[in-house]
Amino acid sequence: MKHDLPPEVSPQSLIKLLINNMLNFRSKLTLLFSTLFFINSTFCFATALPKQNAVPGGIAIINLNIPSGNTLPKVTFNKKRVMVKPQENSWHAIVGIPLKTRPGKKFIKLKTDKNNKKYFFTVKSKKYKTQHLTIKNKRKVNPYKKDLKRIIKEKKIIGKVFRQWRAIPQVRTEFIVPVDGPFSSPFGLRRFFNKQPRRPHSGLDIAAKEGTPIHAPADGIISNTGDYFFNGNSVFIDHGQGLITMYCHMSKIAVKKGQSVKQGEVIGNVGMTGRVTGPHLHWSVNLNNTRVEPTLFLK
């Protein structure tokens, strides 16, 4: 059967129309697959767990064996709320272990409507190295009496920031390194300043030139900024569920309290404010009000 085209429609224009429709369909299909890939990648990043290392200063990951859903299970360790994340359709507790914890059998509590259920895990021993540092500004090692009031006040402020709990269902725990540079002082070092013993190193030091940009390792909200006696110019990011990161000794702060930041966004610059021996970033990671090894969160 013969079909004649209307006189106003030439074979050339019909072919052109068909080609354009095919190209449009291909573009839409590509956009669809790109969107699906982005959603899948975002979900995978959100549900990925940090590395487990159940030692003092490390992390224990415990499968609660309950189906993951919209309601966050209430889990505590030493009476402190613990982060939970879904993995393979089950909730997992992500427990920060304090540096002062003795090796042995420990437990977390899951609060339910009927009772509390205990989950046991074992903390293994770990011996951290010793570091001796010489601080030229002796006042930063042995503060004056008038400095102590400021130090006590700042300690309360920082403690309040680390105790914050923001209940969100998905917390991104795959971090990028916040600044380019070598790791100069690892987490957990037993420290001596001018031959005087001090608390263990509760963060990771990254050496870099003054002014080097510092990036947010993951999405979050700026929960605090300020100039502190020991820490110098500092920024705190609340990533959700008690996961809070701290950045110290900065030369410049580029964010404000309450501001939302995305992974990779610049929050300030490396400096040498506070108690330092040279320019670097001191980076701390806090879980359930416990400082833990930052590298456990790196991709």
Query: Domain containing 177 — which CATH number?
Result: 2.70.70.10
pLDDT score, position 19: 62
pLDDT score, position 17: 62
* Whether residue 119 is found in the same domain as residue 134: no
Give a yes or no: residue 1 inside a domain.
no
CB 108 within 8 A of CB 119: yes
* Amino acid, res. 23: L
* Whether residue 134 is found in the same domain as residue 196: yes
Which CB contacts under 8 angstroms, 24+ apart, belong to 123-129? 123/54, 123/55, 123/56, 123/60, 123/97, 124/54, 124/55, 125/55, 125/56, 126/55, 126/56, 126/57, 126/58, 126/188, 128/57, 128/188, 128/189, 128/190, 128/200, 129/186, 129/189, 129/190
* Whether residue 142 is found in the same domain as residue 280: yes
Q: Print pLDDT tens along the chain (299 aa).
A: 444 545 555 656 656 665 666 556 555 444 443 333 333 433 444 568 999 999 999 999 999 999 987 688 999 999 999 999 999 999 999 999 999 999 999 999 999 877 789 999 999 999 998 888 888 888 788 888 889 999 999 999 999 999 999 999 889 999 999 999 999 999 989 878 777 777 788 999 999 999 999 999 999 999 999 999 999 999 999 999 999 999 999 999 999 999 999 999 999 999 999 989 899 999 999 999 999 999 999 98
pLDDT score, position 101: 96
pLDDT score, position 61: 98
pLDDT score, position 25: 54
Distance of CA 141 to the CA centre of its chain: 29
Structure tokens at 187: 């987490």
In the three-class reduction of DSSP (H, G, I as helix; E, B as strand; rest coil), residue 37 is classed as helix
Query: In terms of residue numbers, what domain contains 112?
Result: 59-123
Give a yes or no: residue 183 inside a domain.
yes
Query: Domain containing 86 — which CATH number?
Result: 2.60.40.1590
Give a yes or no: residue 282 inside a domain.
yes
Give a yes or no: residue 204 inside a domain.
yes
